[in-house]
């Protein structure tokens, strides 16, 4: 909301708005709650030692570390929109790219975060409305374009500014193109749902350290990936996968900002498979999650050229 | 930007109060400082004279002999890449990740 330049006083006179000195003072003299200072702060402001939080993987998590940091989310469908909402609390600047419009079917059963009042609007603008309304401090920069129409130079520039790029699209050609482009620049997280939403996966590609998306998925090209259109799925299953992806994205961003190591998961394992139901090999008793490592394939043009 | 000092000072007219002049009183240098200075100057002069009157030095430079080096090709064996024996077994069928929706 834009502030008015003049304020009308009770006596009817107009007074020019001036910055609130108290707010400025408090902002400038706020205690620095930086991570790794040997102490954490609880919500009631009482300082506590780290020993009381041994093993707490959210130790030191502070939204203010992310304020103004940029993240790029490709796709604003069911995965992309739920992911943007999951990241909303971090107060990030989110670049959202999608050219499609919200349809009624997208709003049924909470398939996406959009409601019926947003039908007919471009998804990225609807996303901006929802996220910025629900999470003050979060900002969405909408890009209502087809990813395929954005030239490499523009994408590379956006990737260079971003802490993490999340790939939540199902266009096989663009998945491969973007993952190849992003590999030497920024951490890429591909989030995708499988048939019926019974499972999903998260592939984490860290430049130079982890294999590229081609090697992680063991694909030779975009022809190997098949898009499932209008796939029926339970929205809770989608959110389950998205929540994991959001936590992984937050961990990576947190590590990049503070320089702390990621301790919540084994970073050498860059493929996370989430089963939303019983899985013969991975979790025979019920829903489960498996972290698995991938190998750089000899002769891969993406992994081995850097 | 104006260079007028009155403009910079925000004054529209001349200053009303008269400026008070200051008289700088210089102290004569002490004889010890003068003596040290003169001694340093004399030393420097002596060094400059010594440099100016020194004989020219001739430096002999020998020509560098270059011996030809035999270059031969080195044969490198093709390295065979084998998968690690203790590589963790992958339970996730990667082909199951290929059919996706967003």
The beta-carbon neighbor of B102 closest among A79, A271, A298 is A79
- Give, in degrees to the nearest 5, the angle at Cα A220 between A216 and A224: 90
Query: What's the whole-number average pLDDT of chain B?
Result: 76
Greater pLDDT, B53 or A50: B53
CB contact under 8 A, B100 and A227: yes
Instruction: Kindly write down the DSSP assignment for every residue of A155-224, as one continuous string.
Output: HHHHHHH-SEEEE----HHHHHHHHHHHTTTSEEEEEEE-GGGSEEEEEEE-TTTS--HHHHHT-SSGGG
Smallest CA–CA separation between A224 and chain B, in Å? 7
Min distance A183 CA to chain B CA atoms (Å): 19
pLDDT at A70: 94
What does the pLDDT read at residue A14? 83
Q: What is the secondary structure of A73-90 as a DSSP string?
A: EE--SHHHHHHHHHHHTT
Q: Looking at residue B78, what is its pLDDT? A: 62
- Confirm whether the ipTM is greater than 0.85: no
State yes or no: pLDDT of B63 exceeds 90.
no
- Measure CA A166 to chain center: 6
pLDDT at position A141, please?
Answer: 95
Return d(Cα A17, Cα A186) in angstroms, integer.
42
Report d(CA A214, CA A205) in Å as an integer.
10
Which residue in chain A is spatially nearest to B100 when comparing CA positions? A194
In the prediction, which pLDDT does A261 show? 87
Helix (H, G, I), strand (E, B) or coil at B68: coil
Q: How far is CA A57 from CA A42, A60, A237, in A?
A: 15, 9, 24
Q: Are strands A187-193 and A164-167 parallel, antiparallel or unpaired?
A: parallel
Which residues of chain B does A281 touch, with a Cβ-Cβ cutoff of 8 Å? 91-92
Quick check: A21 contacting B, CB < 8 Å?
no
Higher-pLDDT residue of B26 and A194 is A194
pLDDT value of position A38: 42
| Phi, psi of A305, deg, nearest 5 | -90, -5
Residue A208 gets the label, from left (phi > 0), alpha (psi -120 to 50) or beta, of: left
pLDDT tens across the length of chain A (306 residues) = 455 677 788 788 887 777 666 666 666 665 544 444 444 444 344 444 444 444 444 455 677 778 889 999 999 999 999 999 999 999 999 999 999 999 999 999 999 999 999 999 999 999 999 999 999 889 999 999 999 999 999 999 999 999 999 999 999 999 999 999 999 999 999 999 999 999 999 999 999 889 999 999 999 999 999 999 989 999 999 999 999 999 999 999 988 888 888 888 899 999 999 999 998 888 899 999 999 999 999 889 898 765
């Amino acid at each position: 909301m834009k502030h008015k330049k003049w304020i009308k006083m009770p006596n009817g006179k107009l007074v020019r708005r001036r910055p609130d000195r108290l707010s400025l003072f408090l902002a400038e003299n706020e205690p620095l709650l930086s991570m790794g200072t040997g102490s954490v702060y609880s919500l009631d402001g009482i300082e506590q030692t780290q020993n009381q939080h041994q093993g707490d993987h959210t130790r030191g998590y502070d939204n203010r570390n992310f304020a103004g940091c940029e993240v790029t989310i490709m796709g604003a469908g069911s995965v992309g929109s739920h992911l943007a909402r999951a990241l909303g609390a971090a107060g990030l600047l989110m670049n959202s790219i999608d050219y499609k419009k919200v349809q009624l079917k997208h709003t049924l059963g909470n398939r996406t975060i959009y409601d019926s009042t947003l039908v007919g609007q471009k998804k990225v603008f609807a996303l901006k409305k929802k996220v910025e309304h629900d999470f003050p401090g979060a900002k969405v920069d909408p890009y209502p374009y087809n990813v395929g129409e954005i030239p490499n130079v523009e994408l590379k520039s956006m990737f260079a500014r971003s802490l993490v790029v999340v790939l939540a699209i199902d266009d096989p050609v663009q998945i491969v193109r973007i993952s190849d482009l992003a590999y030497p620049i920024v951490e890429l997280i591909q989030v995708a749902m499988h048939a019926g939403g019974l499972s999903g996966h998260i592939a984490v590609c860290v430049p130079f350290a982890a294999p590229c998306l081609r090697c992680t998925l063991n694909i030779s090209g975009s022809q190997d990936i098949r898009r499932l259109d209008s796939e029926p799925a339970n929205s809770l299953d989608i959110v389950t996968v998205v929540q994991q992806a959001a936590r992984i994205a937050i961990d990576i961003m947190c590590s990049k900002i503070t320089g702390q190591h990621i301790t919540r998961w084994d970073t050498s394992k860059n493929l996370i498979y989430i089963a939303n139901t019983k899985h013969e090999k991975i979790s025979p008793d019920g829903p489960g999650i498996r972290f698995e490592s991938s190998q750089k394939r000899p002769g891969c043009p993406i992994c081995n050229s850097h | 930007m104006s260079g007028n000092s009155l403009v910079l000072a925000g004054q529209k007219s001349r200053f009303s109060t008269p400026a008070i002049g200051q008289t700088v009183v210089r102290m004569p240098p002490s004889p010890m400082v003068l003596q040290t200075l003169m001694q340093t100057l004399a030393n420097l002069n002596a060094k400059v004279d010594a440099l100016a009157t020194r004989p020219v030095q001739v430096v002999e430079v020998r020509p560098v002999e270059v011996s030809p080096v035999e270059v031969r090709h080195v044969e490198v064996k093709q390295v065979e890449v084998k998968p690690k024996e203790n590589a963790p077994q992958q339970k996730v069928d990667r082909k199951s990740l290929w059919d996706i929706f967003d």
